[in-house]
Structure 1
Amino acid sequence: MIHPIRHGGTDVTYMALVPPNSQQEMRQRNLSRVLYAVADAGPVSRASIAARIGLTRASVSTLVEELLRAGFLVELGPGRSGGVGRPGNALALTGLGPCGVGAEIGVDHLTVCAVDLGGRVRARAVDETPNGEAGPDSVLRRLSSLLDRVTTEAGAAGLRPAGLAVAVPGLVARSSTKVVRAPNLGWVDQDIAAHLATAGLPPLPLTVENEANFGALAELWLGDQGTPRRDFIHVSAEVGIGAGIVLDGELLRGTRGFAGELGHVPVQPYGPRCACGGSGCLEQYAGEAALLRAAGVSVRGTGGRSAALERLRTRAENGDDGALRALKRAGRALGIALTGAVNLLDPRSVLLGGALAGLAPWVLPALEQELRLRTATQGAAPEVAVSAVGGDGPSLGAAHSVVRAVLNDPLPYAVAH
């Protein structure tokens, strides 16, 4: 059967700081450190790996040979040695064997992708059928069909799924596969594992996580590699608005796993009623439906929401007053909602992702102004920028969480000999 397993968010640097309980655990961690060194700097020589992780060349050679036999690494031609002498053979992560499968259940789309150990997307499928009124059985049957298509394509390329991670737009009970509530899907107390098992999905380790959290992890792992961010709030703005919070390189989930529900922070206590049961929530001012309604843009017709958002962007570019007012209002509401989180958590950055990222030129000025006005310490407002990972952040974060589970503890996923 499908069973829950927790992995995303573990960092190999943190792992190295925890004293091992046994020789076997030390070996596991050193194998992981070698894989991460190759992932970060590859193709790379044994000598360079030894210099990066602080082990002797002899120790690294022993670990590398084990990883080569297990099918995680491949040898290329001569590469950088990291020191004097003749360069050794460069090592790279294999393009075969274990892969991570990530899926996103959006309000109006499904996305599934397979990512190899080197981080390359090797298969991808999208279903743009709206899910808001379809019900979980129908949605998860279609998701199962996409999963079958992607895993078949990945298998033809020599890959085998090491696990499945699913991003959902709602509250997920910590360390479970249960969606407690997803207002924009109309779901309450739905167990993803049970539904997928009923749909006939082959057994796979399964993680279910809020889509904003997986988007934040994608930003942490795949974002600006020149100056990696380790303290930020990643805003995922689609039909709903969520936030993934990363502090000191770790995802903040909260006691029950419900941290980051930015869309249901009230910005007008007596404002419009929200699907969550509250009033004046941020989603009623900056969610896609509210934004399009305020701008007078209809979602009816060819293309649905995506086309409507493109029409809104075109109107803004042409200086349409209604569009500009709606976008400014959304930016102000976002700034007000984020102020509390910024004053409480003191992040270095606020990153705007999802559909609103494409409207950033008109949303960010008002957002930044509110943060400057309301941040408790004058002149200490965080950097505000557009997310580097784009709209595929949740599915990529999901897939990479599985990949990192393999890199953290590779031998259970080794090729059988």
Structure 2
Amino acid sequence: MHSVATRGEISRAAVAAEIGLTRATVSTLVDELLTAGLLVELGARRPGTVGRPGTALALNDNGPAGIGAEVGVDHLAVCAVDLRGTVRVRAEVEAHNREQDRPPGEVLRELTGLIGEVEAEAEALGLRPAGRTVAVPGLVGRDRRTVLRAPNLGWENIAVPLPAAVENEANLGALAELWLGGHETAAAVTDFIHVSAEIGIGAALIIDGHLFRGARGFAGELGHVPVHPNGPRCSCGARGCLEQYAGEQAVLRAAGIPPQRQGALKALHTAAADGDPAALKALAAAGQALGIALSGAVNLLDPQAVVLGGPLAELAPWLRPAVERELRRRVTDRQWPPEALLVSRLGRDGVLLGAAYSTVRAVLDDPQAYAFDSA
């Protein structure tokens, strides 16, 4: 499946040559995947100037779909992607999801309804939902069903009753970057720190092409790395966390834009593009704090790259100079190049795409298991 996904169109003979199996074995496997609706045959394709034409295989655009959902502090979003990772259906609503505004159960009921709407639209397009993943801004238990702590939502030990896997949003943003190639370089990047920010700041570590979770599954909490130990108190209970200097609300307040204002981030972007001094100063200070925290992570992990994702990607023109400056000052390996600070092309869609594509990825990794389950 990965051979077909990577190449787009490929013959059975080419698959056999690529993965080192006999043509007869590949033909049997392909027939099973065609029957399961994972692949389609496109007709004869001549491989070159000589030889008989081969039948090209491709992923089925109307096959399994991955359903991704996102619980943000101020929104809910759901999408369906096909086997290629193309978004086929999407829905998003503004919502006040902090526990002080409404209970978690009410949030999850609304999310369930939104998932149902997206799945119905996907099925009308001929897609078959193969699974669901829900992204949350917090720590998730090993059972992948419990939100242990999400400070910006005010959630603690909340069981998600949906038939879905639950995953930290930063992890899913990083996986989307890895799988869908969102970074701005043609080179293969398989070791990187992915950092994104909304109300909070999350990071995730990709090492040798795999997500690093840590001993208890909580790796990547960059937003709670202290950059000024005696600074303001954070929602986590500590003082001077990065989130208090480079989180969305902190930057908006410093720029003179009320965080509760509708379209506040768009207003910040516009103000910075117009050269507003307060906005530029706020973003430069956020970039400095972010660079201080990231330099410690780079010194510790020595990644190929650091990727700015989520809303940080949209604000990168004004954040990046200060981040680069701090990295140059503080990273001990003077050979670590500034061009290794990358900006994601996925932007704020990365988390939702990662959630949806994680289900698709499971199908691509083990298509026979999916074919057996769907038989």
CA distance in 2, matches of 1:51, 1:407: 19
Determine the C-alpha separation between the residues in 2 that align with 1:381 and 1:271: 31
1:275 counterpart = 2:235: yes
Does 2:178 align with 1:212?
no
Structure-to-structure mapping, 1:113-152, within 5 angstroms = 113-132=79-98, 133-152=101-120
SS in 2 for 1:174: coil
1:50 deviation in Å?
A: 1.9
Q: Letter of the aligned partner of 2:35 in structure 1?
A: R
SS at match of 1:280: coil
Aligned ranges for residues 13-412 of structure 1 at < 5 Å? 35-79=1-45, 81=47, 84-132=50-98, 133-192=101-160, 194=161, 196=162, 204=163, 206-224=164-182, 226-301=186-261, 304=262, 307-381=263-337, 383-412=340-369
The offset of 1:401, in angstroms, is: 0.9
Listed one character per residue, the Cα deviations across residues 298-347 of structure 1 (whole Å, up to 9, x for unaligned) are 2354xx2xx22222222222222211111110000000011111111111
What is the CA–CA distance in structure 2 between the aligned matches of 1:82 and 1:337, rounded to whole Å?
53
Equivalences, count: 369
Structure 1 gap segments, 5+ residues each: 1-34, 197-203
Report the CA distance between 1:175 and its aligned residue.
3.8
Corresponding letter in the other structure for 1:136: P
Q: Residues 299 and 163 (structure 1 numbering): CA distance in 2 closer, same or farther, change over 3 Å?
A: same
* Contact 1:98/1:413 (<8 A) preserved: no
User: How far 1:162 sits from its partner (Å)?
Assistant: 1.4
Shift of 1:377: 1.6
CA contact (8 A) 2:32 2:371 kept: no
CA contact (8 A) 1:114 1:399 kept: yes
Aligned to 2:10, the other structure's residue is in SS state coil
Distance across 2 between alignment mates of 1:45 and 1:347: 37
Residues 313, 345 of structure 2: 8 Å contact kept: no
The CA deviation at 1:82 is 7.6
Structure 1 residues 354 and 116: CA distance shift in structure 2, 3 A:
same
Hey, what's the Cα distance between the residues in 1 that align with 2:284 and 2:240? 17
Q: What CA distance in whole angstroms lies between the structure 2 residues aligned with 1:136 and 1:82?
A: 59
Residue 83 of structure 1, CA deviation: 9.2
Deviation (angstroms), 1:69 = 2.1
Q: Structure 1's 107 and 389: CA in aligned 2 closer, same or farther, altered over 3 A? A: same
Alignment partner of 2:315: what SS? helix
Cα distance in 2, alignment partners of residues 163 and 83 from structure 1: 43
Contact conserved, 2:138 with 2:148, CA < 8 A, in 1? yes
Distance 2:36 2:275 in 1: 60
1:414 alignment partner, SS class: helix
What is the RMSD computed on CA atoms of the aligned residues? 1.8
> Cα gap change, 1:167/1:84 in structure 2, threshold over 3 Å: closer, same or farther?
farther
TM-score, normalization by structure 1: 0.85
Change (3 A) 1:82 1:68: farther
Higher alpha-carbon deviation: 111-120 or 137-146: 111-120
Secondary structure at the counterpart of residue 234 of structure 1: strand
**Percent of residue pairs identical:** 62
Q: CA deviation at 1:142?
A: 0.9
Question: Residues of 1 paired with 2:353 and 2:260: CA distance?
Answer: 30
SS of the residue 1:125 aligns to = strand
Unaligned 5+ runs, structure 2: none
Q: Could you tell me how far apart the structure 2 residues matched to 1:149 and 1:68 are?
A: 28
Question: Structure 1 residues 173-182 or 266-275, which shifts more?
Answer: 173-182
- Is the Cα contact below 8 Å between 2:46 and 2:52 reproduced in 1? no
Residue by residue over 1:200-241, the C-alpha shift from the partner in whole angstroms, topping out at 9 and shown as x without a partner, is xxxx4x211100000000000001584332011111111110
Task: Between 404-413 and 232-241, report the one with greater CA deviation.
Answer: 404-413
- C-alpha separation in 1, matches of 2:29 and 2:47: 17
1:7-32: per-residue Cα shift (whole Å, max 9, x none)? xxxxxxxxxxxxxxxxxxxxxxxxxx
Identify the residue that residue 29 of structure 1 maps to in structure 2. none
Shift of 1:155: 1.3
Q: Is the 8 A contact 1:220 1:228 kept in 2?
A: no
The 4+ residue runs of structure 1 with deviation greater than 6 A are: none
